[in-house]
Amino acid sequence: MLRPRTAPDHRKRYNAVAGRSIERVAALSDGVFAVAITLLVLDLHAPALELVHSEADLWHGLLALAPRLLVYVMSFMTLGIFWVGQQTQHNHTARSDRDLSWLHLAFLLAVTLMPFSTTLMAEFIRFRLAVVVYWLNILLLGVLLWFSWRYARHAGLVSGEADTEIACGIERRIIVAQSLYAFGALLCIVDTYLSLGFIALVQLNYVFAPRFGPLARI
Amino acid sequence: MLRPRTAPDHRKRYNAVAGRSIERVAALSDGVFAVAITLLVLDLHAPALELVHSEADLWHGLLALAPRLLVYVMSFMTLGIFWVGQQTQHNHTARSDRDLSWLHLAFLLAVTLMPFSTTLMAEFIRFRLAVVVYWLNILLLGVLLWFSWRYARHAGLVSGEADTEIACGIERRIIVAQSLYAFGALLCIVDTYLSLGFIALVQLNYVFAPRFGPLARI
Amino acid sequence: MLRPRTAPDHRKRYNAVAGRSIERVAALSDGVFAVAITLLVLDLHAPALELVHSEADLWHGLLALAPRLLVYVMSFMTLGIFWVGQQTQHNHTARSDRDLSWLHLAFLLAVTLMPFSTTLMAEFIRFRLAVVVYWLNILLLGVLLWFSWRYARHAGLVSGEADTEIACGIERRIIVAQSLYAFGALLCIVDTYLSLGFIALVQLNYVFAPRFGPLARI
Amino acid sequence: MLRPRTAPDHRKRYNAVAGRSIERVAALSDGVFAVAITLLVLDLHAPALELVHSEADLWHGLLALAPRLLVYVMSFMTLGIFWVGQQTQHNHTARSDRDLSWLHLAFLLAVTLMPFSTTLMAEFIRFRLAVVVYWLNILLLGVLLWFSWRYARHAGLVSGEADTEIACGIERRIIVAQSLYAFGALLCIVDTYLSLGFIALVQLNYVFAPRFGPLARI
């Protein structure tokens, strides 16, 4: 009864008209990034009122927040990098379809997990597992972004202006970045702080995009 | 005094100009979905610091989060499915009016309740009532989406491109999906885990939209 | 030094180019409404795990949430009514200027206070002061919305299509609604539940906008 | 292996196409401002239920919230001022590039820190350090906004309509405002309340933009 003869056709047709607006995907993405970015800051709690009796106490209370602030800035950078990356894809995508919408939804799922991974690493920085979870989150973001671009190209959803060079550039970018993140994660075998430091340097490189010296070649 | 003779006309005219922007309904919807999706993740708490003394402790702490993560992914899928469904309607709606705006607002009310229903089910998975509440939330989403489309068609707000076939396809889609969800909810008479598993499979089917075999006919 | 001779002119010119996008005001408003609407639901906590040992316990736990759910739905209606009202103004506004932007920002301030007023009323429904605070919040929303429309008309920011009839209709609408809310708030002298009930009926009237009988004249 | 010979070119090309949509920057900004504005209100907690036995108790409980409400309104004003300022820049920017996107992302980072700085000042108003942190947050907002405008002008991203006068007006505005904020922060040497009061007056001046008397020259 739930499978009338004509259903497959109707279904095909429904799927052909579902989720076609790349603008809506972009709007939802901006919303999710905005909330995820701001939720991260909820981890920064003001020092407890009863423990602060002098300026010096407050100063020490704020200093104690420094590691969390650093992790916060790092995660902000991560999300910023992926927001710019996703936006670049959107700008070169003419329209969406339901599969591409779902690939971007899966990407947003990985974005919403970032506050959790971040908190975990901030609290358990000395444990390798925390670094691995953080890296897995970054890997998931990269894989889904890479896959959504591959799919968009394959399904003919990319806008005409985006020539092969740009298209390949977007893919290479993701692969190089993920290789560096993976190497950084591997460093946790030596030391978790080293691992975190290396990942932070990679991120700084992508944020500031230096245009000279050896870094410009990465 | 509050009911001057000419009021009905003015009122009619006010209602005729109120809430006419489908773009604003879409923008508010994207915002609500973005917040609801991200709030769901607040249920994922990092393990308590004082309970973790080794990598193994952290591993067990994370494993204990697995059921919550599963429920989170499930609810993300639910909201994703309804976001795609609502977006498909919006794409075929030329303009809104105040009644359609309110139908979509009611739909968004059901969306904001999803984090609550999800948390409830995650904590009380062994109780049938938790499954029923979760299903009622899904039912409410379906009924409001179906009704808003019926209303849009009836009030002549659907854009010209959407032919009868597409219009019927959108309705049939909702009815088939809701029948499957209802069957899944009924399974809680046997076992609540079975119920949850079946609903998850239905959702996976709508997310991945397989194009072959018997599933393609659903 | 901070007041160079030419400053007044520059300032005038700066103010003449600041905050001119009504689309940005609309986008910020959708974001604030989306967050405020979804934050309201954070007050709905699942029953405590250790208090629930049977389906009946869960049922009673959920029943205990009913008053909060009612208040939640009421506040959702309030925010929905003002969202539709603000949107109607935006649709008839050709552009913004910095003063209109600030009037709408003040309106959004009142919107962000709604979750607080709602929680207050949900917890202290038997105290008149809680009803008064809730009503003051609604009054503030109404006054700011009325004033922003007056200003937009006065400053020539209203788009050409909006004739005098529509313009007056928008103002009358606010005044009639606020009179009814004020009457409802006054009822708290008799009983706070009566007050809440009357305000809820007024809101239901604006949500469903009945087109027949005496209510159609309000 | 990660640095193929042709990489620099590809990288340049990638950077040339990345992050070019000023609309997306605007959309993300509206989202972040919307969340940050609404999060601020989470600091307003209703009085504890068990401490309130009469209308007078509730009244005193609400009065005790007054300082927090004031700080909330102040921070809302701060964010509103910077939102209007950023929007004015966006309105005169034709397109973005990846560097401008990152400057605005850094600006949004400072926006997300505002709820923290605000809470800190609300709780530790008698400590100079709390005022200094609050001021540093405002300074960071100003510096990044000033720098992003300088960069947009330098990189030729400003739209044609914005003549030199407007462009200089936007910069002067930021410098004058920041000078006043810095003076206000300095007053904390005398008294932290004086400091806060002066900053509040500066903000009120920018919100209401009086058009007469000596204030019109600031």
In chain C, residues with a C-beta closer than 8 Å to the C-beta of B14 are 88, 166, 169-170, 172-173
- pLDDT beyond 60 at C212: no
- The answer to whether the Cβ–Cβ distance between A87 and D133 falls below 8 Å is no
Mean pLDDT over D19-33 rounds to 88
Pair B87, A21: CB distance under 8 Å: yes
In chain D, residues with a C-beta closer than 8 Å to the C-beta of B34 are 31
Mean pLDDT over D113-120 rounds to 87
- What's the start-to-end Cα distance of chain D, in Å? 58
The residue in chain D having the minimum alpha-carbon distance to the alpha carbon of residue C5 is D217
Among A60-74, B4-18, B148-162, where is mean pLDDT lowest?
Answer: B4-18
Confidence of residue A212 (pLDDT cuts 50, 70, 90): low
B11-20, C169-178, D46-55: which is most confident: C169-178
CA distance D197 to C36: 29
Question: What is the torsional sign of CA A126, A129, A130, A135?
Answer: positive
Pair A15, B209: CB distance under 8 Å: yes
Instruction: Summarize pLDDT for D69-101 with one digit per residue, the tens.
Output: 887 888 899 899 999 999 988 888 888 888 999
In chain D, residues with a C-beta closer than 8 Å to the C-beta of C124 are 46, 49, 52, 58
Among A13-17, A30-34, B102-106, where is mean pLDDT lowest?
Answer: A13-17
Q: What is the pLDDT of residue C108?
A: 95
- pLDDT beyond 80 at A83: yes
Counting one residue from chain B and one from chain C, the pairs whose CB atoms sit within 8 A come to 124
Among B42-51, B204-213, D113-122, where is mean pLDDT lowest?
Answer: B204-213
Instruction: Summarize pLDDT for D171-196 with one digit per residue, the tens.
Output: 888 999 999 999 999 999 999 999 98
When comparing pLDDT for D87 and D68, which is higher? D87
> In Å, what is the CA distance from A16 to each residue of A13, A104, D120?
5, 17, 52
CA distance D5 to chain C (A): 44
Mean pLDDT over A35-52 rounds to 83
Say how many C-beta atoms besides its own lie within 10 A of residue B194's C-beta: 14
* Cα Rg, chain D, nearest whole Å: 21
**Residue C101 touches partner D, C-beta closer than 8 Å:** yes
Mean pLDDT over C111-132 rounds to 89
Q: Which residues contact A11 (CB under 8 A, 6 or more apart)?
A: B169, B173, B216, B217, B218
In chain A, residues with a C-beta closer than 8 Å to the C-beta of B165 are 10, 13
Q: What is the pLDDT of residue A112?
A: 92
**Residue C37 touches partner D, C-beta closer than 8 Å:** no
Which of D21, C115, D170, D158 has its CA nearest to residue B112?
A: C115
Mean pLDDT over B42-67 rounds to 86
CA distance C108 to chain B (A): 14
**Residue A34 touches partner B, C-beta closer than 8 Å:** yes
Confidence of residue D169 (pLDDT cuts 50, 70, 90): confident
In the numeric block, which tokens belong to residue C32? 């604030």
Q: What is the pLDDT of residue A143?
A: 96
Pair A81, A138: CB distance under 8 Å: no
CA distance D145 to D168: 13
- The answer to whether the Cβ–Cβ distance between B84 and A19 falls below 8 Å is yes
Counting one residue from chain C and one from chain D, the pairs whose CB atoms sit within 8 A come to 124
CA distance A130 to chain D (A): 24
Taking all residues of chain B, what is their mean pLDDT, rounded to a whole number?
A: 85
In the numeric block, which tokens belong to residue B68? 């919550």
Taking all residues of chain D, what is their mean pLDDT, rounded to a whole number?
A: 85
**Residue B31 touches partner D, C-beta closer than 8 Å:** yes
- pLDDT beyond 50 at A7: no
When comparing pLDDT for D12 and B32, which is higher? B32
Instruction: Summarize pLDDT for A88-100 with one digit per residue, the tens.
Output: 888 888 888 889 9
Confidence of residue D4 (pLDDT cuts 50, 70, 90): very low
CA distance A196 to B83: 36
The residue in chain B having the minimum alpha-carbon distance to the alpha carbon of residue C217 is B8
In the numeric block, which tokens belong to residue B59? 């591993």
Among C72-81, C126-135, D207-216, where is mean pLDDT lowest?
Answer: D207-216
Pair D89, D157: CB distance under 8 Å: no
When comparing pLDDT for A192 and A215, which is higher? A192
Chains near D, with 3+ CB pairs < 8 A?
A: A, B, C
The residue in chain D having the minimum alpha-carbon distance to the alpha carbon of residue B30 is D31
Counting one residue from chain B and one from chain D, the pairs whose CB atoms sit within 8 A come to 4
In chain A, residues with a C-beta closer than 8 Å to the C-beta of B40 are 112
CA distance B113 to B138: 10
Among C65-74, C109-118, D209-218, where is mean pLDDT lowest?
Answer: D209-218
CA distance A189 to chain C (A): 40
Pair C155, C112: CB distance under 8 Å: no
Pair C37, B32: CB distance under 8 Å: yes
Which among A7, A13, A32 has the least Cβ separation from residue B165?
A13
CA distance C153 to D212: 23
A131-135, B94-98, B207-211: which is most confident: A131-135
Q: What is the pLDDT of residue B9?
A: 57
> In Å, what is the CA distance from B70 to each residue of B44, B74, B79, B205, C69?
11, 6, 14, 16, 27
Instruction: Summarize pLDDT for B21-32 with one digit per residue, the tens.
Output: 888 899 999 999
CA distance C161 to C151: 17
- The answer to whether the Cβ–Cβ distance between D46 and C116 falls below 8 Å is yes
Which of B213, B200, B210 has its CA nearest to residue B73?
A: B200
Three-state DSSP class for residue A127: coil
The residue in chain B having the minimum alpha-carbon distance to the alpha carbon of residue C175 is B2
In chain C, residues with a C-beta closer than 8 Å to the C-beta of B75 are none
Mean pLDDT over C65-81 rounds to 87
* Cα Rg, chain C, nearest whole Å: 21
Q: What is the pLDDT of residue C68?
A: 82
Tell which D residues from 134 to 193 touch C, by Cβ distance under 8 Å. Answer: 165-166, 168-170, 172-173, 176, 179-180
Say how many C-beta atoms besides its own lie within 10 A of residue D63's C-beta: 10
Taking all residues of chain A, what is their mean pLDDT, rounded to a whole number?
A: 84
Instruction: Summarize pLDDT for C82-117 with one digit per residue, the tens.
Output: 999 999 888 888 888 889 999 999 999 999 998 889
Q: What is the ipTM of this complex?
A: 0.86
Q: What is the pLDDT of residue B29?
A: 93
Mean pLDDT over B141-160 rounds to 90
Q: What is the pLDDT of residue D68?
A: 82
- The answer to whether the Cβ–Cβ distance between A31 and B34 falls below 8 Å is yes
Mutate: best of A23, A25, A30, A40, partner D, most D CBs <10 A: A30
CA distance D203 to C88: 30
Q: What is the pLDDT of residue A9?
A: 57
**Residue C210 touches partner A, C-beta closer than 8 Å:** no
- The answer to whether the Cβ–Cβ distance between D218 and C3 falls below 8 Å is yes
**Residue B105 touches partner C, C-beta closer than 8 Å:** yes
> In Å, what is the CA distance from A15 to each residue of A20, A76, C190?
9, 36, 57
* Cα Rg, chain A, nearest whole Å: 21
In chain C, residues with a C-beta closer than 8 Å to the C-beta of A34 are 31
- pLDDT beyond 70 at D153: yes
Instruction: Summarize pLDDT for B92-104 with one digit per residue, the tens.
Output: 888 888 899 999 9
CA C66 to chain centre: 23
Confidence of residue A2 (pLDDT cuts 50, 70, 90): very low
**Helix (H), strand (E) at residue A7:** helix A7-17
The residue in chain C having the minimum alpha-carbon distance to the alpha carbon of residue B8 is C217
Question: What is the torsional sign of CA B20, B22, B27, B30?
Answer: positive
Which among B27, B31, B179 has the least Cβ separation from residue A2?
B179
Three-state DSSP class for residue A94: coil
Mean pLDDT over D13-18 rounds to 70
Say how many C-beta atoms besides its own lie within 10 A of residue D115's C-beta: 25
Mutate: best of C30, C116, C123, C151, partner D, most D CBs <10 A: C116
Tell which D residues from 8 to 27 touch A, by Cβ distance under 8 Å. Answer: 8, 10-15, 17-21, 24, 27
When comparing pLDDT for B61 and C218, which is higher? B61
Taking all residues of chain C, what is their mean pLDDT, rounded to a whole number?
A: 85
**Residue A7 touches partner B, C-beta closer than 8 Å:** yes
Pair A12, A95: CB distance under 8 Å: no
Mean pLDDT over C160-175 rounds to 81
Three-state DSSP class for residue D218: coil
Instruction: Summarize pLDDT for B57-112 with one digit per residue, the tens.
Output: 999 999 988 888 887 888 899 899 999 999 988 888 888 888 999 999 999 999 99
When comparing pLDDT for C1 and C92, which is higher? C92
- The answer to whether the Cβ–Cβ distance between A55 and D128 falls below 8 Å is yes
The residue in chain B having the minimum alpha-carbon distance to the alpha carbon of residue C84 is B19
Mean pLDDT over A58-77 rounds to 87
